[in-house]
Structure 1
């Protein structure tokens, strides 16, 4: 039993034992439009911040925060989605190796591209990626008052877990912690 624990501990706490997360660039059709999905690069960070500014008025994530995330290839995967070589959305994920969970850290779609199925596609991609890594769940937080996003996540199999009081720094709004079980 101890040997099994030791092997698990080394594999999950030692970054050199973990695989570098990878994603193969691909062309996809969503609602009759062609997009390219690829891993985010440092050169994309300013665009990601600008997308967040368009969505929220002020970017919740700074340039430095995105940069730190992109420098963690063993437990972070950030994807961008482009139309005509212009980034129109992105999604960030973090692996919790201890709980076998892929956590969606952030997702943003340029307002003029919202309600076209891009967010749904990115979340489905995250689910497939998590299954590929043999993870047990996909999780995220969402603002309590963001009912349209909560309905979308519920339609994609997420269930409310609990409330995180005063979670968001900008206005101290509560967050709903949601999780989709991937073992079914």
Structure 2
């Protein structure tokens, strides 16, 4: 606080003198150019030139040099065929009808080390639901030995599926069962 008072005391407004500066008026801030003269040139259109395309030869027979795909053999003896313009367009998008959920990336489980040590094998049924993006959720595993349940649920959780589609729209689907078998070889 004392520093503030000291600094305020050091600044004195009566010591500052204002010097009057002459005011100048700027008439033009940017230079103005005179409008350029507009020139027009009269030109004639280019004449239309008729170009005759050579006639398209007819297909006379199918001959194949290599077994499998047929190769057309063309005759060029004066047969006139009109040439039409062919427009290539990408196919129009079509809605997907109905689809049952399908696995894109299969569940892959690793063998639990504790079960491998005792030489135990078993089977599991993993129950789950799928979101509209094909991601599994609500996962529960029922196994012949409880040591496999955690690994089976983890494997299905990492899998990817194409979602079920009804009337062209992806929907959530429930009550899926994925069977798994753990076997030592």
Alignment TM-score > 0.5, same fold: no
TM-score, normalised on structure 2?
0.23
| Higher RCO (CA 8 Å, separation ≥ 6 residues) | 2
In proportion to residue count, which structure has more strand? Answer: 1
- Give the number of the structure whose alpha-carbon radius of gyration is greater: 2
In proportion to residue count, which structure has more helix? Answer: 1
